[in-house]
Amino acid sequence: MGSDFRRDIQGPLLMDVPRGPRVGSAGRSRFVVIAAILALAIAALSSQTAPWRLLEARAFDFLSTTLPPARPAEGPLIIAIDEPSFAEIGLQWPWPRSLHAQLIAALRNAGVRAIGVDIIFAEPSDPAADSALAGAIGPDIVLAADETLIEGPHADQLVRVEPLPALLVNGGRPGVSSIVLDGDGTLRRIPAYDDGFARQLLEIAGNVPGVHPPAGALIQAYGPARSYDTVSYYQALVPSEFLPPGHLAGRVVIIGLSLQSAPTVEAGGADAYATSFTPRTGRLVSGAEIQATIFDNLAAGSFIRSASLLVTLTAIAAATLASALLVWHGTGWQTIAAGAATVLFIAAAGFIAIRVGRLHVPTLAPGFAFVTVASAVGARDFAAERRLRRFIAHAFSQYLDPAQVRRLAADPSGLKLGGERKTLTVLFSDVRGFTTIAESMKHDPERLTGLINRLLDPLSEAILAHGGTIDKYMGDAVMAFWNAPLDDPDHALHAVQAAIAMVAAIEPLNAELAREGLGDDLRFKIGVGINSGDCIVGNMGSRRRFDYTAIGDAVNLASRLEGQTKEHGVSILLGEETAALIHHNVPLVEVASIRVKGKTEAVTVYTIGGV
């Protein structure tokens, strides 16, 4: 190849490489906005479906039973129809109503304030027993009633079961003890009955709730099964014998089934239900204890309101916006940490709303919206990062040592795509007399190509081994530079060391050619020109074809210096800037002050001592 043609080339020899991802581009911003809108819509619509509401209910169970408030000190006391009572009394269920009359009399004598009997006496029994119970019941007693909605194919029927009218003639009140379970069979809501059992008992006890619970108000559970003060039925029959003095005085009591060993979900149990504490304990809570909990919720106003649709949608929108802002400029491990902290914050905010504001704001829907936006954008950024790494590996594998390619792929911030001004050390090498060699092999191009490859291989290895970037091959010539794309503070020294290694690598090749019988006709010798200075370096070319290259006056001078090596009989020529950078590390010999093509002023050039 002619030397004049080679040295006049300023632009790159271009190659096809894939385009790198445009991180932070308008396309990414649009993606964040679209992801946020879709996440908001999906979360908002999903939050109104029955399956999602059950998930939110489970979240409510967890939050409302975390650090629950203390049970009111003056809450109801449970008179438990339990295993010890069955053993002591020795009668089959149902017990005679005259026995309940005895209990009521004993409780009154002990000074109780109000009595709730969570047993439905809807059918007549033994007349004498019914008469005894009717005589015992007075205005301080609430008897359980039941209300059931029977759904039929043609119509729904509301069936109400009341206590026997004869039992209420002395002022006793009926109270609906029915409860409504959520779709997963868990009790979470205060029954919406104006004459509910707990409300009636509260009025008899002389307490009027300050705030009427709204429809769908959630129950604040105070603890798992058997959290309320409980005495066995048989003990309350003879309190002077089994209970401390004054233990019942002034108390509100609820009589009902309450097994001492709380039944499990798997085993089930009579008049026992799952509550918000059941997921933690696996145990059901007796109906009597549930009525006591509702009583305290009404008395203390500790029930929990469900957030309105507007509040729920606002929470979802706020979480979506927070996620979009978090990932707007990029994602990484900091984003993951901030995202995890935000999800925990959402859960903590839900807990505080329950505990302080007595308001249940759904947390799963906002959390879902937040995670969806962050995950979608994070996945996109991860894919873009993978594309960028593949782009870098492909684009620079031809120019850089594999270790440097791995460094760039691991940390793309070390690469600035496009042009930037940097101080580089540029190297040009050329084989002397190669035109004559090529002319002699014009009828054997395959042999010429193989010979060029055998020559360029050790020269390229020397460049890469010293951290250089191979810019291009031009026939028998090589252009390389240092300090881009990765920074190299000792770029001039490394370039000179590479040049020395290149010159040294020619002799083994010549010896190998001599052993092959080619030494008489073919002996390689190279010239290397090196110069340092400011250059423009980056991907240059068209949109479809470009190359990573360097241009500038320092590049031109390096090319001219390579052409001057033959004129001055040396293998390596260095420009003044390169010599100034390495003179403390490498022995230099001043060669001459020369005026190269394209330069109006003479430059002093140097070579390496001993090379």
**Residue recorded with tokens 């005259």:** 98
pLDDT value at 11 more than 80: no
Nearest to 581 by CA among 509, 516, 495: 495
Q: Are 495 and 462 in contact (CB under 8 A)?
A: no
- How wide is the angle at C-alpha 372 spanned by C-alphas 370 and 378, nearest 5°? 100
pLDDT value at 261 more than 90: no
Predicted confidence band at 119 (pLDDT cuts at 50, 70, 90)? Answer: very high
| CA 34 – CA 40 distance, rounded (Å) | 10
**pLDDT score of 610:** 80
CA dihedral 211, 212, 213, 219 (to 10 degrees): 70
| CA 414 – CA 485 distance, rounded (Å) | 7
**pLDDT score of 520:** 61
For all residues of the chain together, what is the average pLDDT? 87
Predicted confidence band at 153 (pLDDT cuts at 50, 70, 90)? Answer: confident
Nearest to 44 by CA among 352, 292, 275, 366: 366
Q: Are 566 and 434 in contact (CB under 8 A)?
A: no
CA dihedral 335, 338, 339, 344 (to 10 degrees): 170
| CA 190 – CA 468 distance, rounded (Å) | 77
* pLDDT tens track for 498-555: 999 999 999 999 888 888 877 566 788 999 999 999 999 887 776 666 677 899 999 9
**pLDDT score of 552:** 92
Helix (H) or strand (E) segment spanning residue 38: helix 26-46
Give mean pLDDT, residues 316-333: 94
Q: Which amino acid, residue 66?
A: T
**pLDDT score of 159:** 87
Q: Which parts of 464-524 are beta strand (E)?
A: 469-474, 477-482
pTM of the model: 0.68
**pLDDT score of 150:** 76
Q: Are 575 and 557 in contact (CB under 8 A)?
A: yes
Q: Are 376 and 39 in contact (CB under 8 A)?
A: yes
Q: Which parts of 450-565 are beta strand (E)?
A: 469-474, 477-482, 526-541, 546-551
| Alpha-carbon 94 to chain mean position | 57
Give the relative orientation of helices 309-327 and 333-355 as an angle to the nearest 10 degrees. 160
How many CB atoms sit inside 10 A of residue 136's CB?
22
pLDDT value at 95 more than 90: yes
* pLDDT tens track for 402-428: 665 666 666 665 555 557 899 999 999
pLDDT value at 370 more than 60: yes
Residue-wise DSSP of 271-324: TEEB-TTHHHH-B-EEHHHHHHHHHHHHHHT--BEEPPHHHHHHHHHHHHHHHH
Question: DSSP secondary-structure letter at 168?
Answer: G
pLDDT value at 382 more than 90: no
**pLDDT score of 417:** 53
Structure tokens at 153: 């194919």
Q: Are 312 and 215 in contact (CB under 8 A)?
A: no
| Cβ-proximal residues to 63 (8 Å cutoff; 6+ apart), any chain | 347, 350, 351, 354, 360, 363
Say if residue 51 is exposed, middle or buried (CB neighbours under 10 Å; 0-12, 13-18, 19+): exposed
Give mean pLDDT, residues 245-250: 95
Q: Are 117 and 100 in contact (CB under 8 A)?
A: yes
Helix (H) or strand (E) segment spanning residue 492: helix 491-515
Region for residue 206 given its phi and psi (left: phi exceeds 0; alpha: psi -120 to 50; beta: otherwise): left
Say if residue 135 is exposed, middle or buried (CB neighbours under 10 Å; 0-12, 13-18, 19+): middle
3-state helix, strand, coil split of the chain in percent (to 5) is 45, 20, 35
Structure tokens at 602: 């003479």
Task: For 304, list phi and psi in degrees, rounded to 5.
Answer: -115, 125
* pLDDT tens track for 450-471: 888 899 999 999 999 999 999 8
**pLDDT score of 379:** 92
Predicted confidence band at 245 (pLDDT cuts at 50, 70, 90)? Answer: very high
